[in-house]
Amino acid sequence: METTLRGVGVSHGVAIGQVRHMGTAVLEPPAKQIPAEDAPREQARARQAVEAVSADLTARGNLAGGQAQAVLEAQALMAADPELLADVDRRVAVGSTAERAVYDAFASYRALLAQAGEYLAGRVADLDDVRNRIIARLLGVPMPGVPDSDEPFVLIARDLAPADTALLDPALVLGFVTEEGGPTSHSAILARALGVPAVVALPGACELAEGTVVAVDGSTGEVHVEPGDGRRAELERAAAERRAALAASSGPGATSDGHRVPLLANVGGPADVAAAVEAGAEGVGLFRTEFLFLDDHRTAPSLETQADAYRKVLEAFPEGRVVVRVLDAGADKPLDFLTPADEPNPALGVRGLRTLLDHPEVLRTQLAALARAAEGLPVHLEVMAPMVADRTDARAFADACREAGLQAKAGAMVEIPSAALRARSILREVEFLSLGTNDLAQYTFAADRQVGAVSRLQDPWQPALLDLVALAAEAAREEDKSCGVCGEAAADPLLACVLTGLGVTSLSMSATAIPYVRAALAQHTLAQCERAAAAARATDSAEEARRAAQAVLSGE
């Protein structure tokens, strides 16, 4: 009997095939004591295993190339982290075996990451994979991985490590479904880069029996178990229509009646630029600058280092628009030299612009680096502040930009409900708004993005969230200024049409989503998008909003 499960779609496309499960994780090593004289030998064993795993991850990265290489190199560094190794040595010195010391040391570090907010908690799967690889080597057992199969299949796992995701063969692995993870996990990022349909955070995924036929829709997040002929035909027809629309779609983003909606890319550094250019991005709507600061939590990068990295991105979009978000530190991205270590609730404490205003020298250096990076380039540089709460915040940021001599538009991110409610006031200080729908949902519904129990409240289709988007867009229109969206919501082709109907003036997303959104917009008029937006806002739940918009845009 056909049933439908719903998770979070993180990579577009449809995959239909039999279920194959990822190998079982390494078991917890027994906690047995060793004589003191064996400690040096066990410490040496641990270090040899760490070095071997680090080398293997680096080699896998070299083989995969591209974005996967950067992810796997980060994992290799994680494996050889000096503090973790020192913790392993200490545990062996008091009687643990090498494998038990590794297990306990990683468990301690894992707990810290899991409590640190979305960005770092999203790295827990990476850490678990490193731990499992080291322990497997110490125990002399094979590392669990993607199952062998002569036929293409849909991969099911509790979570997927980057080392496995990066080397998936799309000809064999039709798609994958995980019980854990989220849209910002490395596995989700790599799935989008590979073009493999994927659904994450699907409760009960691991309970699906081996060999069960499933249909995975990476756009909607739906997994149809034992789909009937009618469902298969429907999904295959929809997939064929998407492929045809993608093939026919090119050029700037616009509705079918010519209303322009620039489609921009979210990038995390120079390594993401090539994919954005290839996808036809018209610029960058969110340049996350944290990558420079997270490499070393103890000190800020120099002005020269920052300017060099920023210029590489700016040079890729001559005459294009590049929107840079200044450092968003705190909460899920703590930095030792900036963020307080003892906040009871970091997400509601000193983060984003608040952190920078407490450390004005860091903001001054970053703005000066951006000014230097843009010298002599025809690019349209815009700079925005994260976590702006009110007009006072907006004025402080605009003043800092002027004092730095930055010849760029200053803008504010709308991630807090107060900013959406008082958008006109904020726009009297800055030149544009950019809606970060992920955080805006979190703060609107008091629903932590890492807590699965409240996942329905994190859905960007929630009518209350659409109301806030509409408020901000209306304020921007009245002030004759722009209001874009740079959260995950922009990557949903159906929701992109609704956002356009709400008055949003640009959409920024991961590079792989751009062709899908471009094709969706090209199939509908602005009036249709506006009617879909009104229909969605008139409902009382995310699911109802999605269905109402779909009905309008499909002509039902």
Catalytic residue numbers, as ranges: 186, 486
How many Cα atoms are found within 13 Å in the side-chain-facing hemisphere of 22? Answer: 23
Contacts of 335 (CB under 8 A, 6+ apart): 293, 294, 297, 329
CB 223 within 8 A of CB 202: yes
**Inter-helix orientation angle 463-478/493-502, to 10°:** 40
Q: Which two tokens stand for residue 263?
A: 């489609």
Q: Please name the residue that has the structure tokens 């829709």.
A: 217
Helix (H) or strand (E) holding 177: strand 173-178
DSSP tag of 449:
T
Q: Looking at residue 257, what DSSP letter applies? A: T
How many beta carbons lie within 10 A of that of residue 329, not counting itself? 26
Calpha distance 327→4 (Å, rounded): 41
Given a contact cutoff of 8 angstroms between Cβ atoms, the answer to whether 548 and 279 are in contact is no
3-state secondary structure of 375: coil
- Give the bridge partners for 155, in sequence order: 20, 176
Amino acid identity, position 403: E
Question: Could you tell me whether strands 14-21 and 153-157 are parallel, antiparallel, or unpaired per DSSP bridges?
Answer: parallel
DSSP label at residue 43: H
What are the two backbone dihedrals, phi and then psi, of residue 99, each rounded to the nearest 5 degrees?
-70, -35
Cβ neighbours of residue 289 closer than 8 Å, sequence gap 6 or more: 306, 310, 324, 325, 326, 327, 366
Provide the β-strand partners of residue 434: 413, 484
Structure-derived torsion over alpha carbons of residues 544, 549, 550, 552, reported in degrees to the nearest 10: 130
Identify the helix (H) or strand (E) that includes residue 220: none
3-state secondary structure of 337: coil
Cα separation, 165 vs 194, whole angstroms: 9
DSSP tag of 432: E
Query: What gap in Å lies between CA 468 and CA 431, rounded to an integer?
Result: 19
For residue 133, with 0-12 CB atoms within 10 Å meaning exposed, 13-18 middle and 19 or more buried, which class applies?
A: buried
β-pair type (198-200, 173-178): parallel
